Amino acid sequence: MTNSEATFKIKSAFQLTGRQFFILGEILSGVIKKGMMVDLSSIGIEKKIMIEAIEFALFREDNKVWEDVGLGLFGLTEEEKEILKTQSPFVLPISISG
């Protein structure tokens, strides 16, 4: 991961009708901002794509509460979205650069 300003570990992915496709997970290092580029090559998708939105998702399970970061992406193919949805969580983090 060269020239990355941040690393992000994908836990899951989804899309709501009429919204961007979101990858959910945690920031392992750095700071992520709207407009930065996500490099998906470390997980087998040879594409760099711009972050269109950053949102947060609150989860509750077994009396535990946590918040994951959601990165909204636009421009993925249906096949790429399916890979992200079905193969999550990913062991390897992705890099994000300005």
At a CB cut-off of 8 Å and minimum separation 6, what does 28 contact? 6, 7, 8, 9, 93
The H-or-E segment that residue 10 falls in is strand 6-15
DSSP 42: G
Digit-coded pLDDT (tens) for 15-42: 988 889 999 999 999 999 999 999 999 9
State the pLDDT confidence band at 3, using cuts at 50, 70 and 90: low
Predicted TM-score (pTM) above 0.75: yes
At a CB cut-off of 8 Å and minimum separation 6, what does 4 contact? 30, 39, 95, 96, 97
Positive or negative, the CA dihedral 5, 21, 59, 33 is: positive
| CATH number of the structural domain spanning residue 57 | 2.40.30.10
pLDDT computed for residue 57 by the predictor? 87
Say if 1 falls within a structural domain. no
Secondary structure of residue 92 in the 3-state scheme: coil
Say if 14 falls within a structural domain. yes
Digit-coded pLDDT (tens) for 38-66: 999 999 999 999 999 999 988 888 999 98
Say if 32 falls within a structural domain. yes
Task: Provide the domain limits for residue 61.
Answer: 6-97
Residue 2 pLDDT > 80: no
